[in-house]
Each structure stands twice: as C-alpha cells, then as structure tokens.
C-alpha cells in the first residue's frame, strides 16, 4: 500500500486535531479568472479557512445550484482546463501551506485520464480529490487509483442511502465522508433538518472511522454553528462564490463572509471565576 503524501497526511491532521470542525472554502479553478482565483484562495487561507477546495469547471454540474454553475460557466468561457486546475492546486498549496482538495465530476477526470489526474494532483501538492457522481465499483476503482498516488479519495453519500450502500461507500473512501446538510443542490438556503442530520451522521459513524464533512445548505454562520456538533468539517461554497459573481466589493464581501463562518465555529471562550 502506498503511503500518503505529506499533503494528504496534513488533511487528516486538520480534520482530526482541531477540537472543532475544520472549515473548508470552495472556489472553482479559473474563477473569477486564473490569477484572481489563486489570489482569492490565498486570501481565504488568511481569513479562516483550514483547508481549501478547488472545483474543476464542468458544463453540466448536476449537483450544483445556480451560483456555482454560473462560476463554472464563467471559468469555462475564459478557457479554463485541467491544466489550470493543476496549476491552481500547485500555487495554492505552495502559497498557503494549507491542505488543498479538488472537487470534480467524473467526466472531466475520465477525459483527462484518472491515473494521470491522480498522479499530477499528488505531484502538485493536492491532498485528495472528491468525485461526487461516482458510485459503487467506479468509486472503488477511483479509490484504488488515488491510494496508489498517495492522495485521499473522499466520497459523497446521501441520507437516502441504505445502510449497505453507506458501508460500501465508506469502504471506497479515504480522507472524509461528505454528508450533505440538506438533500438539495449546492446553494440551498432553506431550513435544515438538524435532527435528521444528527441521525444521518450517527449512521455514518457507526459504519466508518473516516471524518464526516458537511456542506450544501450551510448557508449562514448560524447554520454552521447548528451543524458543528455533528461533523468534523464544514465546506462553504455558494456563500463565497455568490458575492464574487457581482461587481464592486465582491471579494471583500466573500472574505467577510468566510471570517464570519470561521468565528461561528470557534469554541466559546471559557469565563474564569475570579477569587472572592
């Protein structure tokens, strides 16, 4: 079995040693453009992100809502390709010294070559890559390829999955299990079923020792605080992408939003009783 790269091992440490959920910040590669995207990811690292997630732009992102879909479209219209993703990972990992995970649909990975994808990500300093539309044997095959390259292969699960399906997914995962906080596309801003999430994460923890990371529907810092007791990490995407789609102070608004999420996940200060 291939050992984990130092970058992959660093991701495990971040998700297991904080004493609070680690905060991940998502941004598509090449958005708002290639150089601005790399600079924004570096700024995310300075404003509270414990790890960074780089999205591979895709023309039919079935699991994503309008904000991330629009960001992918903007990146693709400027010529974003897998080479930009690899370069974004390389520069972001070197500039921030934070774990960097890639999120991609299967089609771009299949076209690029899964083994080449894994090997180039590992060489560039990625900690892993999650492919959320892979299931069953295909997910197991990707896990084997990623493991051979020394990087993690996080897996996406649904609370509609049976216990058997959850066990199969956990077997084909490393790094983390991604448990959506809402059964919806990214960008969902409605109420969260917290008792349902608690039961779902309980089912997962009964079947795997992998850290559990949540995203989708964690639209405000208050919702992040609600979800925090049940997970090891939270990934924020649409709340950061949405302001970047606008003009003016888009990046500043995104950084302020990220800092608010980071503050929401910090443990409350312990008050000391003064001696009488």
167 token code pair: 């066990």
The fold of 6-263 is TIM Barrel (3.20.20)
What is the per-residue pLDDT across 246-256, written as a single tens digit (0 to 9) for each?
865 799 999 99
pLDDT of 267 reads 75
What residues act catalytically?
53, 64
The SS3 of residue 212 is strand
pLDDT band (50, 70, 90) for residue 269: low
What is the per-residue pLDDT across 255-268, written as a single tens digit (0 to 9) for each?
999 999 999 998 76
Q: Is 190 exposed, middle or buried (0-12, 13-18, 19+ CB in 10 A)?
A: exposed
What is the per-residue pLDDT across 145-174, written as a single tens digit (0 to 9) for each?
999 999 999 999 999 999 999 999 999 999
pLDDT band (50, 70, 90) for residue 273: low
Tokens 């790890």 correspond to what residue?
51
Q: How far apart are CA 158 and CA 7, in angstroms?
A: 28
């Amino acid at each position: 079995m291939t050992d984990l790269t130092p970058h992959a091992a660093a991701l495990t440490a971040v998700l297991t040693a904080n004493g609070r959920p680690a905060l991940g910040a998502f941004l598509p590669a090449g958005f708002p453009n290639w150089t601005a995207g790399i600079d924004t990811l570096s700024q995310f690292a300075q404003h509270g992100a414990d790890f960074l997630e780089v999205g591979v732009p895709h023309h039919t992102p079935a699991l994503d809502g309008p904000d991330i879909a629009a960001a992918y479209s903007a990146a693709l219209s400027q010529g974003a390709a897998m080479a930009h993703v690899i370069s974004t990972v390389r520069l972001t990992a070197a500039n921030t010294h934070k774990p960097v995970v890639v999120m991609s649909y299967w089609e771009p990975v299949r076209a690029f070559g899964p083994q080449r994808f894994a090997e180039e990500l590992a060489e560039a300093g990625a900690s892993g890559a999650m492919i959320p539309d892979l299931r069953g044997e295909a997910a197991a095959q990707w896990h084997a390829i990623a493991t051979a390259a020394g990087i993690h292969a996080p897996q996406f699960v649904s609370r509609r999955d049976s216990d058997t399906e959850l066990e199969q997914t956990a077997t084909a995962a490393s790094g983390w299990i991604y448990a959506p906080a809402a059964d919806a596309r990214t960008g969902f801003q409605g109420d969260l079923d917290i008792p349902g999430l608690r039961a779902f994460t309980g089912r997962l923890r009964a079947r795997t020792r992998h850290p559990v990371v949540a995203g989708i529907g964690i639209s405000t810092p208050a919702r992040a605080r609600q979800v925090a007791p049940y997970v090891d990490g939270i990934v924020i995407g649409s709340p950061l992408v949405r302001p970047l789609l606008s003009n003016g102070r888009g990046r500043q608004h995104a950084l302020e939003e990220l800092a608010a999420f980071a503050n929401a996940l910090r443990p409350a200060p312990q008050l000391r009783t003064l001696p009488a």
